[in-house]
Homo-oligomer: A and B are copies of this chain.
Amino acid sequence: MSKKTDKADAFVTEITPRSEDFSRWYLDVVRRAELADYSPVKGCMVIRPYGYAIWELIQEHFDRAFKRTGHVNAYFPLFIPESLLNREAEHVDGFAPQVAYVTHGGGEELEEKLVVRPTSEAIIGTMYAKWVQSWRDLPILINQWANVVRWEKVTRPFLRTTEFLWQEGHTAHETADEAEAETRMILDLYGTLAKEVLAMPVVKGQKSESEKFAGALRTYSIEALMGDGRALQAGTSHNLGQNFAKAFDITFQARDKSVQHVWGTSWGVSTRLIGGVIMTHGDDSGLVLPPVIAPYQVVIVPIGRENWRETVLPRALEIKDELVKAGVRVTLDERDERPGWKFAEWELRGVPLRLEIGPKDIEKSQVLLARRDTREKAGVSMAGLAGHVRGLLDVIQQHLYETAVTFRESHTQRVSSYDEFKQAMEGRPGFVITGWCGSADCEEQIKADTQATIRNMPLDTRPTGQGCVRCHAPAIADAWFAKSY
């Protein structure tokens, strides 16, 4: 047995069970499935080709949706002069503790320190001030795919790293209503994409004051529930009001000839989504990928005696070609390893469908299809195989979503007393819905008592009339609480 095989065997078996230690399980999956690796730079990860291929698929779907809704891409500088970041008071307070500073360049100390962008409102606002003159120049609907840097003390691949990749939309509008409509439209789009692309159900709602973006009027978020019952903030959409417009002097001549400040929004999702996918769908055997973002949707594993290269491989290659032509992303595992080893490796890597083909299958003109999600196996005729596979991939995508919805529903409870609340947070974790009075005091005390934070307050629900779970004052909303990432 080669050194390579030794490594690989270890590779497959070394995953900590999810139930034993979820956090270790997560790290094991990330590293063993070769999604990401630690780098020599503290807090920064390397996104390996398999992980990056997932990101490329996420980008493809999100980018298409942004363009379909009228947005265009652009690119703004990585560096922001410190004085620009300082223009919006809340913004700098929120981000200054987390920024990295460039102090030297080209062999000289810089006159003004440069901030490595933690987010781009400041630099983009500065440019919008140059570009916008009249109401005819509005709206500006620009998105940027970029890297950003936020110094983090505790990091975890994909979930929280010093540098990460994201998209950040930045828009400017004539009226407050338009900005709010854009903010909500993006929130809905994020929700739809989370469902259709990531098979990840999310709760859409408004953040509390204490959790909103530094400098925003209002922040909305999508929140997903991970397999360990903790919530993950998976995307945010901010209504910036005129805060940045005033700080950066983004004015325009309005239809009535008066000079007005624009109304802004910003919104983003990041490589964190990959972490969300892992923790929503994964199991003890490793990753489970939704077909829409699986780099390989099907892995073909030839089965057979020693002469499989002669007897099985030619037919396997034909099937591969047929699937490729049908638009299926497929790989054929030709390595000289035993099938069982290959099964375990591709399960670890989360490939939605395994296609086994051996001499007997060829005789019967069929193949065996094994689903990663349910582990169901079924013989399927080679005639019309591509159509069958495509149909099955849709079924898997749908099934993953439904399973996640069921999980969330069984981990969401409504409580009316603080005792119940505390009990819920100590017991089986998940979302707890209850009334909240809107005061930061109650929010803080609840967090201190239970570690739970308000994830958000859904827009489409009205308070049930029950009082604040902690102080019994009239509730402003039903809030979704959870322990979170």
Contacts and interface: CB of A to CB of B under 8 A. Distances in A.
Contacts of A133: 3-4, 7
A99 B105 contact: yes
Nearest to A5: B136
A20 to B, nearest CB: 27
Contacts of A134: 2-4
Nearest to A144: B52
A293 to B, nearest CB: 15
A366 interface: no
A153 interface: yes
A46 B75 contact: yes
A127 B253 contact: no
A409 B254 CA distance: 54
Contact of A163 (B77, B127, B151): B77
Contacts of A53: 72-73
A142 B49 contact: yes
A84 interface: yes
A39 B77 contact: yes
A192 interface: no
A375 interface: no
A303 to B, nearest CB: 22
A74 B46 contact: yes
A392 interface: no
A44 B163 contact: no
Most buried by B among A79, A134, A147: A79
Contacts of A56: 73
Interface in A88-113: 96-107
Contact of A105 (B49, B52, B72, B101): B101
A76 interface: yes
A194 to B, nearest CB: 22
A123 interface: yes
Contacts of A104: 100-101, 103
A79 B3 contact: no
A146 B123 CA distance: 19
B78 A163 contact: yes
A414 interface: no
| Interface residues of chain A: helix, strand, loop or mixed (majority) | mixed
A123 to B, nearest CB: 7
Interface string A225-267: 0000000000000000000000000000100000000000000
A47 interface: yes
Interface in A2-23: 2-4, 7
B100 A101 contact: no
A48 B74 contact: yes
Interface string A131-149: 1011011000010001101
A41 interface: yes
A388 interface: no
Given A44-B79, A78-B163, A163-B78, A98 B106 contact: yes
A416 to B, nearest CB: 42
Given A7-B133, A127-B37, A75 B100 contact: no
Contacts of A2: 134, 136
A398 interface: no
Interface in A43-89: 44-49, 51-53, 55-56, 72-81, 84
A282 B80 CA distance: 33
Nearest to A8: B136
B79 A163 contact: yes
Interface string A27-50: 000000000010111001111110
A153 B106 contact: yes
B46 A81 contact: no
Contacts of A103: 101-104
Interface string A205-220: 0000000000000000
A126 to B, nearest CB: 6
29 contacts: A2-B136, A3-B253, A4-B133, A37-B127, A37-B131, A39-B76, A39-B77, A39-B123, A40-B81, A40-B84, A40-B123, A41-B80, A41-B81, A48-B74, A49-B142, A51-B74, A55-B75, A75-B165, A78-B147, A79-B163, A97-B106, A97-B107, A100-B104, A103-B104, A105-B151, A106-B152, A106-B153, A116-B116, A146-B147
Given A4-B134, A55-B75, A56-B73, 8 more contacts: A7-B133, A39-B77, A39-B127, A41-B80, A49-B74, A98-B106, A101-B102, A103-B103
